[in-house]
Structures are given as C-alpha cells and as structure tokens.
Amino acid sequence: GENVEQHPSTLSVQEGDSAVIKCTYSDSASNYFPWYKQELGKGPQLIIDIRSNVGEKKDQRIAVTLNKTAKHFSLHITETQPEDSAVYFCAASIGGFQKLVFGTGTRLLVSP
C-alpha cells in the first residue's frame, strides 16, 4: 500500500525566513497531493494541493512542487510569520482523490 514519509519532523525558523517541508510517496498511481495545517486541538485545514499533471503551484506565500519521477513533493513557505507556527501534514491519494494517506507531520515553529 501507499507509504508517505515526511521530513523534517520539527523545523524552527526566524520570522521572515523560508521553510521547506519534503515528502516522498511510494505508490506511482497516486495522483493528488494536498497539504494540511493543523493547530493544536483543531482539525486539519487544507492550505494547498497539487495534482499529478502539474509540477508546481503557488498561492501567495505558499508553494508546492511535485516530482513524479522521483515521487516526492515539497511545501515551500516564504516570509514566514509567527502565525504560520503549526503542524503541517502532507498526504497522497490512493484509489483516486478522496482516500488519503498522511505523512508523519512537521512541527513548524516561527520565532519573532
């Protein structure tokens, strides 16, 4: 079955710096890769997603890149702010878009 690995597990940056989180997946049939932000005690919030027919997608300070050949995808956050501090999860689809396997999460801490 699909396996998603995520690195790093924790990431500390200074406000204004960039943050990069990387994920790899195992199932070449996966075709949808969302990223979620989860704050303490809350459900995950979809922040950006990418489909397999696209190599890169950007939404203001957030961007995601996908390398299908290498089976890895990354989240890039520029000009980080303290409110970006949270746990970020990547995910990959199995059996179509809806069923997701999640990475292990990255705890991002942005210091003022």
| Cβ(103)–Cβ(90) below 8 Å | yes
Q: Binding residues for other proteins, per CB under 8 A? A: 34, 36, 41-46, 49, 89, 96-105
Residues 6+ apart with CB under 8 A from 94: 1, 2, 27, 29, 30, 100, 101
CB of 44 to other proteins, least distance (A): 5
CB of 2 to other proteins, least distance (A): 11
Closer of 35 and 110 to other proteins (Cβ): 35
Closer of 80 and 89 to other proteins (Cβ): 89
CB atoms within 10 A of CB 56: 13
Closer of 73 and 89 to other proteins (Cβ): 89
